[in-house]
């Protein structure tokens, strides 16, 4: 799946607006060679598509190629560990989701510590989530969905983009709050989770709206509720889960990080380039239409978000007694 209606047009637009200035760090020759952006997820998902958007902005603005590398596996830990061990010189970056703040609380052992091993560059976007069902499921709202789930003798299976993902935690939290048994079916990324829900192999899924959007438009998926605290602009008539289950909210962001110790002037230039890329009007409008809300901001704001999420996920995973090997 791509997030752009016309990818070539979007890329050309980025190149045009970025060509206005060369955003190099003051008193620095950075960059003097290609930059790689590691995505710890498979190709074709929302994070991958956003990484490719950012890579075009960096390439155009800084005059060096920015190349996206996908290193999926182990709940994003393989790609994350690769960047944690990379030199802190601004030439290896990590584009990831808030899974990086979840995994330390659910995996018994990790080869990195996010707060120690990474420097935040910028939070880029919020990947809106929804609870969607196959059209054969006879429910239209959360109350009916709960009753349907209670009627499944072995629990109701739900798809997510992977063990420990915000989508996974949304399903577990839903089961806890609704008093129903939810059986997690983990996939290697968002697109395969969506495709199996569309095919009816799994009857329900906590899915990224961006990945699910084409199938929602074709009535191949029915959205029951939005997972975030507010209704999605794309689906103004679809309620949030919290409108039925008070206090329910799970969100998923996408952000860009560098290895700890990366020079501050390099972080500043990458922050500026990233914010410029995602806020280009044509790109912003296209992303928001398809379920991705633009965020942006400073490195320090991203640092505060990381700390707040770490505290939040620690509390939730303890309440769920969720651990992975």
Domain boundaries, the chain: 7-126+252-320, 129-243
Q: What is the pLDDT of residue 321?
A: 87
For residues 165 and 158, what is the distance between their CA atoms, to the nearest angstrom?
Answer: 13
Q: What is the pLDDT of residue 103?
A: 95
Q: What is the pLDDT of residue 28?
A: 59
Q: Give the single-character DSSP code of 317.
A: H
Could you check whether the bond before residue 256 is cis, i.e. omega within 30 degrees of 0?
Answer: no
Q: What is the pLDDT of residue 290?
A: 67
Partner residues linked to 225 by β-bridges: 131
Q: Which CATH class is domain 7-126+252-320?
A: alpha beta
Domain topology for 129-243: D-Maltodextrin-Binding Protein; domain 2 (3.40.190)
Each as own residue / partner, the long-range contacts of residues 303-307 (CB below 8 Å, 24 or more positions apart, any chain) are 303/120, 305/123, 305/253, 305/255, 306/100, 306/101, 306/114, 306/115, 306/120, 307/115
| Secondary structure class of 167 (helix, strand, coil) | helix
Contacts of 289 (CB under 8 A, 6+ apart): 234
**Rounded to whole angstroms, what are the CA distances from 199 to 13, 37, 139, 222, 287?**
36, 33, 17, 13, 26
- Taking the model in full, what pTM does it have? 0.82
Q: What is the pLDDT of residue 169?
A: 94
Per-residue pLDDT of the chain (325 residues; tens, 9 = 90+): 444 445 544 444 444 444 434 444 443 589 999 999 999 988 887 888 899 988 998 999 999 999 999 999 888 999 999 999 999 999 999 999 999 999 999 998 999 999 999 999 999 999 899 999 999 999 999 999 999 999 999 999 999 998 889 999 999 999 999 999 999 999 988 889 999 999 999 999 999 998 899 999 999 999 999 999 899 988 999 999 999 999 998 989 999 999 999 999 999 999 999 999 999 887 787 777 767 889 999 999 999 999 999 998 999 899 888 888 7
Does 129-243 match 7-126+252-320 at the fold level? yes
Element (DSSP H or E) covering residue 253: strand 253-259
Give the pairing of strands 118-127 and 129-133: unpaired
Q: What is the pLDDT of residue 286?
A: 75
Q: What is the pLDDT of residue 19?
A: 40
Written as six digits, the tokens of 162 are: 């992977």
Written as six digits, the tokens of 178 are: 């609704």
Q: What is the pLDDT of residue 11?
A: 46
Q: What is the pLDDT of residue 320?
A: 84
Q: Are 183 and 119 in contact (CB under 8 A)?
A: no
Contacts of 296 (CB under 8 A, 6+ apart): 122, 123, 124, 274, 275, 278, 279
């Amino acid at each position: 799946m791509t997030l752009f209606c016309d990818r070539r047009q979007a890329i050309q637009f980025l190149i045009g607006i970025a060509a206005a200035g060369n955003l190099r760090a003051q008193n620095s020759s950075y960059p003097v060679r290609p930059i790689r952006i590691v995505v710890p997820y498979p190709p074709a998902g929302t994070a991958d598509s956003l990484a490719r958007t950012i890579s075009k902005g960096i390439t155009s603005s800084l005059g060096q190629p920015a190349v996206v590398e996908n290193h999926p596996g182990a709940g994003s830990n393989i790609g994350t560990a690769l960047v944690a061990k990379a030199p802190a010189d601004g030439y290896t970056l990590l584009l990831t989701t808030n899974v990086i703040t979840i995994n330390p609380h659910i995996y018994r052992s990790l080869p990195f510590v996010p707060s120690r091993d990474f420097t935040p560059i910028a939070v880029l976007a919020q990947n809106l989530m929804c609870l969607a069902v196959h059209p054969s499921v006879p429910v239209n709202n959360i109350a009916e969905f709960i009753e349907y789930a209670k009627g499944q003798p072995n629990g109701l299976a739900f798809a997510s983009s992977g063990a420990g993902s915000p989508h996974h935690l949304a399903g577990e939290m839903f089961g806890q709050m609704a008093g129903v048994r939810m059986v997690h079916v983990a996939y290697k990324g968002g697109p395969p989770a969506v495709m199996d829900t569309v095919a009816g192999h799994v009857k329900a899924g906590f899915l990224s709206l961006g990945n699910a959007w084409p199938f929602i438009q074709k009535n191949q998926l029915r959205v029951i509720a939005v997972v975030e605290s507010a209704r999605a602009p794309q689906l103004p008539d679809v309620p949030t889960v919290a409108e039925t289950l008070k206090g329910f909210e799970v969100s998923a962001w996408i952000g860009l990080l560098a290895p700890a110790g990366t020079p501050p002037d390099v972080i500043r230039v990458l922050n500026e380039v990233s914010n410029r890329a995602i806020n280009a009007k044509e790109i912003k409008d296209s992303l928001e239409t398809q379920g991705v809300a633009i965020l942006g901001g400073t490195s320090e704001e991203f640092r505060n978000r990381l700390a707040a999420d770490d505290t939040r996920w620690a509390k939730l995973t303890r309440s769920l007694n969720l651990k992975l090997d």
